[in-house]
Chains A and B, each alone.
Chain A
Amino acid sequence: MSRIVVVTSGKGGVGKTTTSAAFATGLAMRGYKTAVIDFDVGLRNLDLIMGCERRVVYDFVNVINGEASLKQALIRDKHTENLHVLPASQTRDKDALTQEGVGRVMDGLRDDGFDFIVCDSPAGIERGAHMAMYFADDAVVVTNPEVSSVRDSDRILGLLQSKTQKAEQGGNVREHLLITRYSPTRVASGEMLGMEDILEILAVPLIGVVPESQSVLQASNSGTPVILDKTSDAGQAYDDFVRRFLGETVPHRFLEVEKKGFLKRLFG
């Protein structure tokens, strides 16, 4: 039985694609057969973050329209076994994603024995975002410690509770809050919303806090999901998040201001 997880946020630029890439890689690293799907029709980017942009032949919409089979369109990830990428289409046709079509792709992946299907949602609350969340069992809501992101996350939570298949059937999409671009130093000085503040406002169980980190940009530059950078704080935080998602109890890290030694303070 496949578990469908949407990575969503409402607001753009908070780290949905970075998170989808890291999350899917983390699941596959642990042996789960995983597919990660880019729902951002017209603005394909997951392929770049996953480093498979030059191997895109067919896309999500081709599969929906019957122009390619799932097998043809799925790209085997070169970094991680068990991981497959389904890129978004670059078409400008906004209605390319139909509920029926997306449902068929989900069924196809289920039949192929995928354990996890990670849906990378586009920003906004339009069709693409709606389709990304519709079939979800779980939702990872990515939030930055910043007013517009928190507000948009609350909007998205409202949609998860009303506009999904689970909601229509009287059930619930399991919600998980992932805070990204967190800066403990700025929280300590009172210029950034703290983790507790965000939790109090959104009232969703916390699954991880990813610190603001240079390694995220480096990872995207090279097309390597940041979770593979095991020495980086962001990579480690994403790894903790995946373990928690799979049911392990892992204490949160990177919440406190790092105490720098005298020499480090002098020389950075």
Chain B
Amino acid sequence: MASTTETKQKKMLILKSADNDEFEIEESVGVQSETIKNLVEDGFTFVPLPNVYTKALIKIIDYLKKHANKTDSNDEEIKTFDKDFVNTTFDDLFELVSAANYLHISCLMNMLCQTIADRIKDKSPEAVRKIFHINCDYTPEEEAKIRKANAQAFEGQFDESLD
């Protein structure tokens, strides 16, 4: 019984995703997002998020819940959670990064950007193109020119593998 009265005392927020799904979360969890925090401070308890789809929102709520309960003892646990969190496809990562940016959750933003950057790191331009499915829009002449300029700048070694 005690627990139900406790939850009643806790302020709850309703988040609505772009797919019109509604999620109820504790205010203390939600305010980790600057965007939500601003709305809460203006007295809103119903927060429509037209830029965030359900799929990403579920993951982000997971993340927020985990990080809201951060204490000194579960540091390791959160690290493992974060590791799993970013261990996903590029599509998901970009979806999440856009959502995190919209929601202004800077720690999540940084973690996601770092993850994406880590996958570009030390790759050759060809590998980056393949990883992100980018079509090269240079003419062969332009490409040769830039290649030459780059070679003069730094002579680096690239990793040709695609993982």
Partners in one complex: no
List residues of chain B with CB under 8 Å of any chain A CB: none
